[in-house]
Amino acid sequence: MSDLSNFPITERWSPTNPDVIQLYSFPTPNGVKVSIALEEMGLDYEAHLVTLSDADVKSPEFLSLNPNNKIPAIIDPNGPDGEALGLWESGAILLYLAEKTGKLIGSTAADKAVITQWVMFQMGGVGPMLGQLGFFTKFAGKDIEDPRPRERYQNEAKRLLAVLEKQLEGRDWIAGDFSIADIAIVPWLNALAYYGAQEAVGWTDHPNLVAWHKRFYARPAVDKAKNIPPRPE
Protein backbone atom coordinates (compact mmCIF):
# COMPACT_ATOMS: atom_id res chain seq x y z
CA MET A 1 0.00 0.00 0.00
CA SER A 2 1.32 3.48 -0.91
CA ASP A 3 2.44 5.73 1.90
CA LEU A 4 1.27 9.31 1.31
CA SER A 5 2.05 10.48 4.86
CA ASN A 6 4.74 12.86 3.58
CA PHE A 7 1.95 14.87 1.87
CA PRO A 8 0.47 16.96 4.74
CA ILE A 9 -2.76 17.46 2.73
CA THR A 10 -3.63 13.85 3.57
CA GLU A 11 -3.92 14.79 7.26
CA ARG A 12 -7.08 16.77 6.46
CA TRP A 13 -8.34 15.00 3.31
CA SER A 14 -7.32 11.45 4.12
CA PRO A 15 -7.18 8.80 1.40
CA THR A 16 -9.42 5.77 1.61
CA ASN A 17 -7.33 4.07 -1.05
CA PRO A 18 -3.82 5.60 -1.15
CA ASP A 19 -2.88 3.41 -4.14
CA VAL A 20 -5.02 5.44 -6.55
CA ILE A 21 -4.72 9.03 -7.79
CA GLN A 22 -5.94 11.52 -5.21
CA LEU A 23 -7.91 14.42 -6.72
CA TYR A 24 -8.52 17.62 -4.74
CA SER A 25 -11.12 19.62 -6.56
CA PHE A 26 -14.46 21.41 -6.91
CA PRO A 27 -16.74 21.11 -9.96
CA THR A 28 -15.76 24.36 -11.70
CA PRO A 29 -14.50 24.45 -15.33
CA ASN A 30 -10.89 24.02 -14.16
CA GLY A 31 -11.85 21.33 -11.67
CA VAL A 32 -13.93 19.14 -13.98
CA LYS A 33 -11.22 19.13 -16.62
CA VAL A 34 -9.34 16.70 -14.39
CA SER A 35 -12.27 14.49 -13.34
CA ILE A 36 -13.33 14.25 -17.01
CA ALA A 37 -9.79 13.31 -18.08
CA LEU A 38 -9.55 10.66 -15.33
CA GLU A 39 -12.89 9.15 -16.36
CA GLU A 40 -12.12 9.28 -20.09
CA MET A 41 -8.72 7.64 -19.52
CA GLY A 42 -10.18 4.96 -17.26
CA LEU A 43 -7.83 5.78 -14.38
CA ASP A 44 -8.74 4.86 -10.80
CA TYR A 45 -8.96 7.85 -8.50
CA GLU A 46 -10.43 9.17 -5.30
CA ALA A 47 -12.00 12.65 -5.30
CA HIS A 48 -11.83 14.97 -2.29
CA LEU A 49 -14.07 18.03 -2.12
CA VAL A 50 -12.04 21.22 -1.60
CA THR A 51 -14.35 24.22 -1.69
CA LEU A 52 -13.23 27.63 -2.95
CA SER A 53 -13.52 29.11 0.55
CA ASP A 54 -10.35 30.38 2.22
CA ALA A 55 -10.94 27.80 4.96
CA ASP A 56 -10.18 25.11 2.37
CA VAL A 57 -7.93 26.51 -0.40
CA LYS A 58 -5.91 28.66 1.98
CA SER A 59 -5.60 26.02 4.70
CA PRO A 60 -2.03 24.98 5.54
CA GLU A 61 -2.84 21.44 4.43
CA PHE A 62 -4.02 22.49 0.95
CA LEU A 63 -1.21 25.05 0.55
CA SER A 64 1.29 22.29 1.29
CA LEU A 65 0.26 20.71 -2.02
CA ASN A 66 -0.59 23.85 -4.03
CA PRO A 67 1.04 27.05 -2.74
CA ASN A 68 -1.09 28.93 -5.31
CA ASN A 69 -4.30 28.13 -3.32
CA LYS A 70 -6.33 26.92 -6.28
CA ILE A 71 -8.06 23.71 -7.25
CA PRO A 72 -7.51 21.33 -8.98
CA ALA A 73 -4.50 19.43 -7.62
CA ILE A 74 -3.59 15.76 -7.59
CA ILE A 75 -1.25 13.28 -5.97
CA ASP A 76 -0.30 10.31 -8.13
CA PRO A 77 1.05 7.61 -5.78
CA ASN A 78 2.50 5.82 -8.83
CA GLY A 79 4.32 8.71 -10.47
CA PRO A 80 7.47 8.62 -12.60
CA ASP A 81 10.12 6.16 -11.35
CA GLY A 82 7.54 4.76 -8.92
CA GLU A 83 7.68 7.91 -6.77
CA ALA A 84 4.54 9.72 -5.62
CA LEU A 85 4.04 13.01 -7.47
CA GLY A 86 2.00 16.04 -6.40
CA LEU A 87 0.84 18.34 -9.21
CA TRP A 88 -1.31 21.44 -9.70
CA GLU A 89 -2.35 23.68 -12.64
CA SER A 90 -5.06 21.92 -14.62
CA GLY A 91 -3.22 22.15 -17.96
CA ALA A 92 -0.11 20.53 -16.49
CA ILE A 93 -2.26 17.80 -14.93
CA LEU A 94 -3.99 17.07 -18.26
CA LEU A 95 -0.65 16.80 -20.05
CA TYR A 96 0.78 14.60 -17.30
CA LEU A 97 -2.16 12.19 -17.32
CA ALA A 98 -2.10 12.02 -21.14
CA GLU A 99 1.65 11.23 -21.09
CA LYS A 100 1.18 8.68 -18.34
CA THR A 101 -1.54 6.76 -20.19
CA GLY A 102 -0.63 7.56 -23.81
CA LYS A 103 -4.31 8.54 -24.23
CA LEU A 104 -6.03 11.65 -25.63
CA ILE A 105 -2.78 13.21 -26.84
CA GLY A 106 -2.76 11.91 -30.46
CA SER A 107 -0.36 9.39 -31.90
CA THR A 108 2.39 11.45 -33.56
CA ALA A 109 4.75 14.18 -32.36
CA ALA A 110 2.82 16.62 -34.56
CA ASP A 111 -0.54 15.61 -33.01
CA LYS A 112 0.94 16.09 -29.55
CA ALA A 113 2.31 19.53 -30.40
CA VAL A 114 -1.00 20.72 -31.85
CA ILE A 115 -3.05 19.33 -28.95
CA THR A 116 -0.64 21.05 -26.52
CA GLN A 117 -1.08 24.29 -28.49
CA TRP A 118 -4.87 24.20 -27.95
CA VAL A 119 -4.45 23.34 -24.26
CA MET A 120 -2.18 26.40 -23.93
CA PHE A 121 -4.71 28.51 -25.84
CA GLN A 122 -7.26 27.58 -23.21
CA MET A 123 -4.91 28.09 -20.25
CA GLY A 124 -3.60 31.45 -21.44
CA GLY A 125 -6.69 32.79 -23.22
CA VAL A 126 -10.10 31.14 -22.92
CA GLY A 127 -9.88 30.45 -19.16
CA PRO A 128 -8.57 33.83 -17.97
CA MET A 129 -10.75 35.91 -20.33
CA LEU A 130 -14.01 34.02 -19.74
CA GLY A 131 -13.25 33.96 -16.02
CA GLN A 132 -12.96 37.76 -16.00
CA LEU A 133 -16.12 38.03 -18.10
CA GLY A 134 -17.86 36.00 -15.39
CA PHE A 135 -16.53 38.32 -12.70
CA PHE A 136 -17.83 41.43 -14.48
CA THR A 137 -21.16 39.84 -15.54
CA LYS A 138 -22.30 37.68 -12.62
CA PHE A 139 -20.09 38.26 -9.63
CA ALA A 140 -18.81 41.34 -7.70
CA GLY A 141 -17.68 43.20 -10.84
CA LYS A 142 -21.21 43.42 -12.24
CA ASP A 143 -21.95 46.44 -10.03
CA ILE A 144 -19.02 48.45 -11.34
CA GLU A 145 -20.46 51.36 -13.32
CA ASP A 146 -17.55 51.86 -15.70
CA PRO A 147 -18.54 49.65 -18.70
CA ARG A 148 -15.00 49.33 -20.04
CA PRO A 149 -13.82 46.22 -18.10
CA ARG A 150 -16.99 44.29 -19.04
CA GLU A 151 -16.74 45.41 -22.67
CA ARG A 152 -13.08 44.49 -22.77
CA TYR A 153 -13.74 40.90 -21.65
CA GLN A 154 -16.86 40.55 -23.79
CA ASN A 155 -14.86 41.55 -26.86
CA GLU A 156 -11.99 39.23 -25.98
CA ALA A 157 -14.44 36.36 -25.37
CA LYS A 158 -16.10 37.00 -28.75
CA ARG A 159 -12.73 37.09 -30.46
CA LEU A 160 -11.68 33.77 -28.87
CA LEU A 161 -15.02 32.13 -29.73
CA ALA A 162 -14.53 33.18 -33.36
CA VAL A 163 -11.11 31.47 -33.40
CA LEU A 164 -12.68 28.25 -32.08
CA GLU A 165 -15.69 28.47 -34.40
CA LYS A 166 -13.39 28.67 -37.43
CA GLN A 167 -11.15 25.84 -36.25
CA LEU A 168 -14.19 23.56 -35.82
CA GLU A 169 -15.32 24.00 -39.42
CA GLY A 170 -15.55 20.44 -40.77
CA ARG A 171 -14.23 18.95 -37.50
CA ASP A 172 -15.94 17.11 -34.64
CA TRP A 173 -13.11 17.84 -32.18
CA ILE A 174 -10.76 20.79 -31.90
CA ALA A 175 -7.48 19.05 -32.76
CA GLY A 176 -8.27 15.88 -34.73
CA ASP A 177 -9.54 13.03 -32.56
CA PHE A 178 -11.12 13.72 -29.18
CA SER A 179 -8.29 14.88 -26.88
CA ILE A 180 -7.32 16.72 -23.72
CA ALA A 181 -7.68 19.94 -25.76
CA ASP A 182 -11.46 19.40 -25.94
CA ILE A 183 -11.48 18.56 -22.23
CA ALA A 184 -9.63 21.79 -21.45
CA ILE A 185 -11.86 24.11 -23.49
CA VAL A 186 -15.49 22.92 -23.53
CA PRO A 187 -16.15 23.18 -19.75
CA TRP A 188 -15.23 26.86 -20.06
CA LEU A 189 -17.76 27.39 -22.85
CA ASN A 190 -20.31 25.66 -20.63
CA ALA A 191 -19.71 28.33 -17.96
CA LEU A 192 -21.05 31.07 -20.24
CA ALA A 193 -24.63 30.01 -19.45
CA TYR A 194 -23.89 29.98 -15.71
CA TYR A 195 -22.43 33.49 -16.00
CA GLY A 196 -25.53 34.69 -17.89
CA ALA A 197 -23.13 35.80 -20.64
CA GLN A 198 -24.31 33.71 -23.61
CA GLU A 199 -26.28 36.53 -25.19
CA ALA A 200 -23.48 39.08 -24.69
CA VAL A 201 -21.06 36.90 -26.65
CA GLY A 202 -23.59 35.82 -29.32
CA TRP A 203 -23.36 32.13 -28.37
CA THR A 204 -26.13 31.00 -30.74
CA ASP A 205 -24.37 32.68 -33.69
CA HIS A 206 -21.69 29.96 -33.40
CA PRO A 207 -23.27 26.74 -34.77
CA ASN A 208 -19.99 24.79 -34.65
CA LEU A 209 -19.48 25.65 -30.97
CA VAL A 210 -23.08 24.80 -30.08
CA ALA A 211 -22.73 21.38 -31.79
CA TRP A 212 -19.30 20.76 -30.19
CA HIS A 213 -20.65 21.54 -26.72
CA LYS A 214 -23.58 19.14 -27.26
CA ARG A 215 -21.28 16.39 -28.63
CA PHE A 216 -18.94 16.79 -25.65
CA TYR A 217 -21.60 16.58 -22.95
CA ALA A 218 -23.21 13.55 -24.67
CA ARG A 219 -20.10 11.47 -23.84
CA PRO A 220 -20.88 9.10 -20.92
CA ALA A 221 -17.56 9.82 -19.14
CA VAL A 222 -18.16 13.57 -19.37
CA ASP A 223 -21.70 13.21 -18.10
CA LYS A 224 -20.43 11.19 -15.14
CA ALA A 225 -17.50 13.50 -14.30
CA LYS A 226 -19.14 16.90 -14.73
CA ASN A 227 -20.13 17.06 -11.06
CA ILE A 228 -17.16 15.25 -9.46
CA PRO A 229 -16.58 15.81 -6.63
CA PRO A 230 -20.27 16.64 -6.12
CA ARG A 231 -21.09 20.29 -5.46
CA PRO A 232 -22.58 20.54 -1.92
CA GLU A 233 -26.40 21.11 -1.95
Ligand X SMILES: N[C@@H](CCC(=O)N[C@@H](CS)C(=O)NCC(=O)O)C(=O)O
Enumerate binding residues for ligand X (CB under 6 A). Answer: 28, 30, 52, 57, 69-72, 89-91
* DSSP helix, strand, coil percent of the chain (3-state; round to 5): 55, 10, 35
- Strand order through the sheet with 73-76: 45-49, 21-25, 73-76, 85-88
Minimum distance of ligand X from residue 36's CB (angstroms): 14
- Measured distance CA(179)–CA(3) in Å, rounded: 32
CB of 179 to ligand X, least distance (A): 17
Nearer to ligand X, 71 or 228 (CB): 71
Closest separation in Å from C-beta 33 to ligand X: 8
Q: Give min distance, CB of 107 to ligand X, in A.
A: 26
- State the minimum distance, in angstroms, from the CB of residue 72 to ligand X: 6
User: Which residue, 104 or 119, has its beta carbon nearer to ligand X?
Assistant: 119
> Would you call 2 exposed, middle or buried from its count of C-beta atoms within 10 A (0-12, 13-18, 19+)?
middle
Three-class secondary structure of residue 222 per DSSP: helix
Query: Computed from CA positions of residues 109, 75, 68, 222, in that sequence, does the dihedral angle turn out positive or negative?
Result: positive
- Strand 73-76 and strand 21-25: pairing? antiparallel
Closer by beta carbon to ligand X, 37 or else 57: 57
53 or 204: CB nearest ligand X = 53
**Kind plus residue range of the DSSP H or E element containing 85:** strand 85-88
- The closest of 115, 103, 88 to 174, measured between CA atoms, is 115
Q: Which is nearer to ligand X, 131 or 165 (CB)?
A: 131
Looking at the DSSP assignment, which residues form a beta bridge with residue 174?
A: none
Burial of 42 (0-12, 13-18, 19+ CB in 10 A): exposed
* CB nearer ligand X, residue 32 or residue 175: 32
Minimum distance from CB of 145 to ligand X (Å)? 25
